[in-house]
């Protein structure tokens, strides 16, 4: 693991480890429009009040799908 990956992994772990998902919903249409997005991703609410949602890229150009290892739900699609 290079230094950049190690630093990102450390920062991400600090922000996410130990937290739990307390809510699941799709991004509301008006909020997606505020981002200039055509696709509405799933939003995961965490126990500290923060949110996670997938984007199609790291520049935030549109909502993205979320892939899983769940047998009955291999992908959480955008709407």
pTM for this predicted structure: 0.90
The pLDDT, as a whole number, for residue 1 is 82
Instruction: Tell me the C-alpha to C-alpha distance, in Å, between residue 36 and each of 23, 30, 32, 49, 75.
Output: 24, 10, 6, 24, 23
* 62-71 pLDDT per residue, tens: 999 999 999 9
- pLDDT above 90 for 51: yes
- Counting residues of the chain whose pLDDT is more than 70, the rounded percentage is 100
Average pLDDT, the chain: 97
């Amino acid at each position: 693991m290079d230094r950049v990956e190690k630093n990102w992994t450390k920062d991400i772990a600090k922000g996410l480890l130990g937290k739990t998902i307390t809510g699941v919903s799709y991004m509301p249409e008006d909020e997606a429009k505020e981002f200039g997005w055509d696709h509405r991703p799933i939003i995961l609410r965490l126990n500290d009040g923060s949110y996670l949602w997938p984007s199609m890229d790291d520049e935030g150009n549109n909502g993205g799908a979320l892939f899983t290892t769940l047998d009955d739900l291999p992908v959480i699609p955008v709407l």
